[in-house]
Amino acid sequence: MVKINDNYQKLQGSYLFSTIAKKVNAFSSAHPEKKIIRLGIGDVTRPLTPTIIKTLHASVDEMADEKTFRGYAPDLGYDFLRKAICDNDYRSRGCRIEEDEIFVSDGAKPDSGNIQEIFDADCKIAVCDPVYPVYVDSNVMAGRAGDYDEKTGRYTNVVYMECTAQNGFAPELPKEACDLIYLCFPNNPTGATLKKSELQQWVDYANKNGSVIIFDAAYEAYISDDCPHSIYECEGATQCAIELHSFSKNAGFTGLRLGYAVVPKELKRGGVSLNSLWARRHATKYNGAPYIVQRAGEAVYSEEGKKEIRGLIDYYMENAKYIVSGLEKAGYNVFGGTNSPYIWLATPDKMTSWEFFDHLLEKANVVGTPGVGFGACGEGYFRLTSFGSHENTREAVDRICNL
């Protein structure tokens, strides 16, 4: 009889956001009269901007004409998009990244889950705690994380780098050597950022130890100060870092699906170029993001597109401001929300994260994300997103403050 991949048995329950969705659906079926406001999963609510819509329409029309019809997309992405990414996200920032180091994909979530495939099964991984669950779960599936310890709420073979209010939610360099280090800044879920000098220490650590950093830059568009947008702003990062990007959070593509990974050619381990491994993996398992979506991605970098995208980010950051100031006035201890669309708050009255989740759902009919769902250090914390509409965000904050 065929055997299943037993590592899946080591995963904890269901995926965090599926668990939340189930709980919320049960509550809403029992109380159909209640208006639930969802500030849980980081899903955008503003429609795509006019330039994106115009480009989508035009490229759909191209598909209707045999002279301009496109079949399979090039597996690593269309040149027009790879060039736009390179020029705007890297060359303009002085980073030495070339088009053939960009791998267009259907988003940062799949890339962050899949990238571990090109590394050895015995690699030691290090993650922040709290952490976006995909980094850990994908390594559990690959058999790299060890066993789940109920007592600690952690996997035995993972190095957890604690991010707490005491260290400003910035992880300290691991004492033991780690092979694969996942970093996400601006951080999901805490909203913390790293200064360039802090990020440089990680790059130096990785180069010294032969580690590889997987740098998730999904939220870089929300940076409003001089924090680095890309790890390649640091000296030596092209020799130790892979960077992941998303069009979801800046341009509202959560439903369209588009992202990219950067794997520099000079990033080598054991004399082998990781760029060529990822290219091989991409070509074998992926048929490319749809043409119309890649054209829409290119339009994000047009002058009009950039202006519109700035408008979207400003819209969400106005929500973030409202959440932070409202909750602070009501006496909450609040973090994030300045360089990030996430607000991370300490639960009141020593409530656990899930107790506070239930409390908010039942009493305010507001959905957030329990901090402990992101790891043991998230216990006693709670995450709200600023991706709602102004109206819903204000109503949610007012309801929470009136509890």
- Residues near ligand MLT, by CB under 6 A: 41-43, 109, 132, 188
* Angstrom distance (rounded) from CA 362 to CA 31: 10
43 vs 198, beta carbon nearer ligand MLT: 43
For residue 116, the minimal CB distance to ligand MLT (Å) is: 16
Closer CB to ligand MLT, residue 42 or residue 378?
42
CA 116 – CA 192 distance, rounded (Å): 24
The token pair at 120 is 């050895």
Residue 277 · residue 121 · CB < 8 Å: no
252: nearest Cα among 50, 84, 38: 50
Q: Which is nearer to ligand MLT, 43 or 62 (CB)?
A: 43
Closer to ligand MLT by Cβ: residue 109 or 144: 109
C-beta of 188 vs 211, nearer to ligand MLT = 188
Q: ∠ CA 332-375-367 to the nearest 5 degrees?
A: 50
Q: How far is the CB of 132 from ligand MLT (least distance, A)?
A: 6
- Supply the angle between the helices 390-401 and 303-329 in degrees, to the nearest 10: 10
- Residue 281: partners with Cβ closer than 8 Å, 6 or more residues away: 114, 117, 118
Least distance in angstroms from the C-beta of 324 to ligand MLT = 18
Q: How far is the CB of 238 from ligand MLT (least distance, A)?
A: 26
- Shortest gap between Cβ of 197 and ligand MLT (angstroms)? 27
Name the minimum Å distance from CB 377 to ligand MLT: 16
- 41 vs 165, which CB is nearer to ligand MLT? 41
Q: Smallest distance from the beta carbon of 271 to ligand MLT, in angstroms?
A: 34
Residue 179 vs 216, nearer CB to ligand MLT? 216
| CB nearer to ligand MLT: pick between 114 and 188 | 188
Minimum CB separation of residue 100 from ligand MLT in Å reads 27
Contact 47, 252 (CB under 8 A): yes
Residue number, 78 or 132, with CB nearest to ligand MLT:
132
Tell me the sheet residues that pair with 100: none
Pick the closer one to ligand MLT by CB: 55 or 193.
193
The minimum distance between CB 73 and ligand MLT, in angstroms, equals 23
Q: From the CB of 141, what's the least distance to ligand MLT, in Å?
A: 16
> Whose CB is nearest to ligand MLT?
42
Nearer to ligand MLT by Cβ, of 326 and 368: the residue is 368
Min dist. Cβ of residue 350 to ligand MLT (A): 25
